[in-house]
Each structure stands twice: as structure tokens, then as C-alpha cells.
């Protein structure tokens, strides 16, 4: 089998990796280890990722907010897909879970 070379990580990819590293530290310090959303068919702790409040393209001009606690939720794949498909549901969940946090993620 012929192996193809991996593509290099670009500027935006490096920014995303750095943001994820910061977010992992923040969530670990806050003790958040499971899906925060908990919709029907939630996978709890399986296949977790950071769900962002806005589309990734929104953060291109605001890269410092990409790793902001109040801009993200820890979500399983199931819940993440559900909120990405429904803007009103996503807004309501973010309002409920991140309402009391400032830009630095402090209450």
C-alpha cells in the first residue's frame, strides 16, 4: 500500500490546536469531565469535543475568543450535532450554562 504524505497544519489549524490545549486546562481546573448539554441520546463522556457558541469563521477576526470558556461547552458528538443544527436551541443552552460568566470565564 502506498502511503501519501500528511498535509502540514496551517495557521488556522495551529490556532485551533492551541485553543483546544487552553480549553482542556480550563475545563480540567473547573472539574468539567462530561457533556454539559445532556439532551436526549446524550453520550455523557464518550466522544467529547468543544462546541463553540459561534461558527468557526466568526473567530478568525477574534482568535483570542476561540479559547474562551464562555464561548464553548464540552459536548458529546450527539449533543454537539443537535445544537449545531438548531440556532435557537444553541443560544438557549449557552444562555443557560454560560450566562453568569465574563469574557475570561469568571463568575
Poorest-confidence range of 9-13, 24-28, 30-34, 39-43? 9-13
The answer to whether the beta carbons of residues 68 and 25 sit under 8 Å apart is no
Note the pTM of the prediction, 2 decimals.
0.83
Return all residues near 15 (Cβ < 8 A) that are at least 6 apart. 63, 66
Domain residue spans in the chain? Answer: 11-98
Entry field: residues in the chain: 107
How do residues 63-102 score in pLDDT, each as one tens digit?
A: 999 999 999 999 999 999 999 989 999 999 999 999 865 5
Amino acid at each position: 500500500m502506498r502511503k501519501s504524505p500528511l498535509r502540514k497544519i496551517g495557521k488556522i489549524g495551529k490556532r485551533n490546536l492551541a485553543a483546544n490545549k487552553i480549553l482542556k486546562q480550563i475545563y480540567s481546573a473547573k472539574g468539567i469531565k462530561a457533556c454539559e448539554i445532556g439532551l436526549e441520546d446524550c453520550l455523557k463522556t464518550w466522544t467529547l469535543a468543544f462546541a463553540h457558541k459561534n461558527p468557526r469563521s466568526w473567530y478568525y477576526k477574534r482568535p483570542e475568543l476561540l479559547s474562551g470558556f464562555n464561548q464553548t461547552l464540552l459536548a458529546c458528538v450527539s449533543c454537539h450535532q443537535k445544537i449545531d443544527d438548531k440556532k435557537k436551541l444553541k443560544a438557549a443552552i449557552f444562555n443557560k450554562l454560560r450566562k453568569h460568566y465574563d469574557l475570561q470565564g469568571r463568575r
